[in-house]
Amino acid sequence: MEKTNVPELFGSLVFNDREMKKRLSADVYTSLKKTIDENARLEENVADAVAEEMKNWAIENGATHFTHWFQPLTGVTAEKHDSFIEPTNDGGVVMEFSGKELIKGEPDASSFPSGGLRATFEARGYTAWDPTSYAFIKDHTLCIPTAFCSYSGDALDKKTPLLRSMQAINRQAKRILKLFGTEANYVRTSVGPEQEYFLVDKEVFSKRPDLKYTGRTLFGAMPPKGQEMDDHYFGVIKPRVTEFMEDLNQELWKLGILAKTEHNEVAPAQHELAPIYSTTNIATDSNQLTMEIMKKVASRHGMECLLHEKPFAGVNGSGKHNNWSISTDTGINLLSPGKTPYENAQFLLFLAAVIQAVDDYQDLLRLSVATAGNDHRLGANEAPPAIISIFLGDELTAILNAIRDDKPYEGTENVVMKLGVHSLPRFSRDTTDRNRTSPFAFTGNKFEFRSLGSSNSIACCNIMLNAAVAESLRQYADILEKSDDFEADLHALIKKVITDHQRILFDGNGYGEEWIKEATEVRGLSNLRTTADAMPHLLDKKNMDMLMAHKVFTETELHSRCEIMLENYVKTVNIEGLTMVDMVRKNYLPAIERYLYRLAETTNLMRQVSSNVKCNYEVSTMERLSELTDHILDAVKALENVLARFKEIDDIFESSAFVRDEMLPSMDVLRKYVDEAEMLTSQRDWPFPSYGQLLFSVN
């Protein structure tokens, strides 16, 4: 393989700051920078100048088309390509691109989910440039990151509310920083998402209709070897996977994505990629692109990249860890314990804000990661439970307890800790023990939210996290701005928050049954096990009030989003149900029948040859398989009946409850019988590749 010059390659397909500085006039550059950093309005002449240079750069780098690139509520990204060509009088063309085309697009919005937001006669939507995320080139097309709204101005995408939530936390955090005299022009949240995925050989994959239609296997008996030897995690990466990773890194680097860490994960065929963190909206765009490019590069290497949360039952699923922090443009990480008493107090207040936010809005965080796919992971002893709680680690817990109880903290001078006066003990980062069972863990200078599913857009949970923390900060600023004795009131405030929100702090084993009991029965934490349980809470008054007060969502947007997310849930499961029926009727039952025929024929033949043969194997297998085909028939009929009843339900809340209570359980019954039959049937007759063949398909 030829050697690559990574610094040269990095960002070569991105119209980044370096390119802008080089190509734009000083005035235009300064003006654009102001828009990017301070959200200032963009003048039209500036937009024209930027568009011209962006186009020239794109053409030099092989682009012929441009597209507004956006993130509708389907979960994937959308693009519609237009070429730069404009006809000239002499029958030729020139390449044109105006400021207007850069700033605004008007895709037909009628085929994107709107949750009844848009009356059918108003199919128009528009996309608006997000200058805070760099434009890039993909497949000879200049991609311009944009927000996507209906003509009435309601958001139809994930980026718009994300940007609004970032403004909300910026607004409130700046009020707090002002009280501490900390200099900052703006405050932003940063995210580093760790992405898990599976790789399966394309040929094996293509023989599984369930994987093709639904992204996960709907049937499959466990292979003799799974992940029990723990020999895959951090193990030696197979040559074919190494080649894939090298290729993937290069593609991502070209797009300015900071791909950094890669390793094998727990399950066979499972891997992880982590980038270096960046500003939340850029991290979101990058993660969407990363998932898309993973699939594309895998295909180039004869493999299929599975991003589903639970491609294989009984085998570890795939998640995404959302590492999140808040920092100022002056380089202060507000979740990093400082050196001076003042910095410490500021850190503790931001820490308190997160603790309160997670407690007050547990349901919003839970529902932000709720999908049909992720429901298979949360609470299944491989991912954090559906109950949200925070892990702080021993040292930080001891410090907070000392403040709460007015007791001395042993690690420091032996006096009762007073904020703003005493230094916090310098606790070392590495002692933040890795409690893998906690959904929301403090890891030294950031929080790691671990409940996300691998295919989730990280926009959803960061919208909720930013907004909820903005709300805590708003409450604190309201109190402290009026204070006459800042230090005393600050101390009292932090103490009160720690006391009031004690229930959300939990350092123990989140996988245990005891925790579920304690969390729900003693602490009163919510345990929203499925999407159907979680999603309706988006419309709880307290949640709507908060999200609307911070201008993150409008009332209409919230109703539409709740509907769309539930629609995604029921549609996903419905397709799975239909796929199961199809596979059972067309393949599984006929295959078992074929094998039964052979067994019966063999038995007959053997008995003709000798009257001494017992045919124990043939007869017992035949008897059980025959019973199983009867069970399978009953179960598939029951599922067909459920699928038919499902069609009759109009109300989305009702149909999502129906999916949870009727459809998924019927699917489980059917699967159980088919999987047992797989263990009794000859591999030659079995119609689809087994789990073993899928999980060990890449060598």
Contact residues: Mg ion, CB under 5 A: 321
277 lies in the binding site for ligand ADP (CB under 6 A): yes
* Binding-residue pattern over the window 324 to 343 for ligand ADP, x denoting contact by CB under 6 A: xx-------x----------
Angle 148-154-157 from CA coordinates, rounded to 5°: 35
Nearest-angstrom CA–CA distance, 605 and 291: 56
| Residue 474, C-beta contacts closer than 8 angstroms, at least 6 positions apart | 172, 175, 550
- Kindly state the number of chain residues that form the binding site for ligand ADP, as judged by CB under 6 A: 15
Tokens of 292: 């898309």
HSE, CB side, 13 Å, CA atoms: give it for residue 635: 24
User: For residues 216 and 321, which CB has a smaller minimum distance to Mg ion in the complex?
Assistant: 321
- Which window, 223-231, 441-449, 487-495, 524-532, contacts ligand ADP (CB under 6 A)? 441-449
Question: Could you tell me the smallest distance in angstroms from the CB atom of residue 191 to ligand ADP?
Answer: 6
- Which window, 440-448, 533-541, 555-563, 600-608, contacts ligand ADP (CB under 6 A)? 440-448
Question: Could you tell me the smallest distance in angstroms from the CB atom of residue 326 to ligand ADP?
Answer: 9
Question: Could you tell me the smallest distance in angstroms from the CB atom of residue 262 to Mg ion?
Answer: 14
How many other C-beta atoms can be found within 10 angstroms of the C-beta atom of residue 401? 14
Instruction: Determine what percent of the chain falls in helix, strand and coil, rounding each to the nearest 5.
Output: 50, 15, 35
Question: Could you tell me the smallest distance in angstroms from the CB atom of residue 277 to ligand ADP?
Answer: 3
- Which single residue is written with the structure tokens 């998924």? 664
What is the dihedral angle through the alpha carbons of 143, 148, 153, 159, rounded to the nearest 10 degrees? -100
Question: Are the C-beta atoms of 197 and 306 separated by less than 8 Å?
Answer: yes
User: For residues 193 and 536, which CB has a smaller minimum distance to Mg ion in the complex?
Assistant: 193
What is the DSSP secondary-structure string of 463-477?
HHHHHHHHHHHHHHH
Interaction partner, residue 446 (Mg ion, ligand ADP, none; CB < 5-8 Å by kind): ligand ADP
* Binding-residue pattern over the window 308 to 327 for ligand ADP, x denoting contact by CB under 6 A: ---------------xxx--
307 lies in the binding site for ligand ADP (CB under 6 A): no
Nearest-angstrom CA–CA distance, 543 and 552: 11
677 lies in the binding site for ligand ADP (CB under 6 A): no
Nearest-angstrom CA–CA distance, 139 and 154: 31
Question: Could you tell me the smallest distance in angstroms from the CB atom of residue 200 to Mg ion?
Answer: 25
- Which window, 64-72, 274-282, 286-294, 580-588, contacts ligand ADP (CB under 6 A)? 274-282
In degrees and rounded to multiples of 5, residue 524 shows phi and psi of 70, 25
Nearest-angstrom CA–CA distance, 315 and 212: 19
Question: Are the C-beta atoms of 473 and 175 separated by less than 8 Å?
Answer: yes
What is the dihedral angle through the alpha carbons of 64, 65, 69, 74, rounded to the nearest 10 degrees? -110
11 lies in the binding site for ligand ADP (CB under 6 A): no
* Binding-residue pattern over the window 389 to 428 for ligand ADP, x denoting contact by CB under 6 A: ----------------------------------------
Interaction partner, residue 304 (Mg ion, ligand ADP, none; CB < 5-8 Å by kind): none
Question: Could you tell me the smallest distance in angstroms from the CB atom of residue 66 to ligand ADP?
Answer: 31
Amino acid at 196: E
138-197: which residues touch ligand ADP (CB under 6 A)? 190-192, 194
List residues binding ligand ADP (CB under 6 A): 190-192, 194, 274-277, 323-325, 333, 443, 445-446
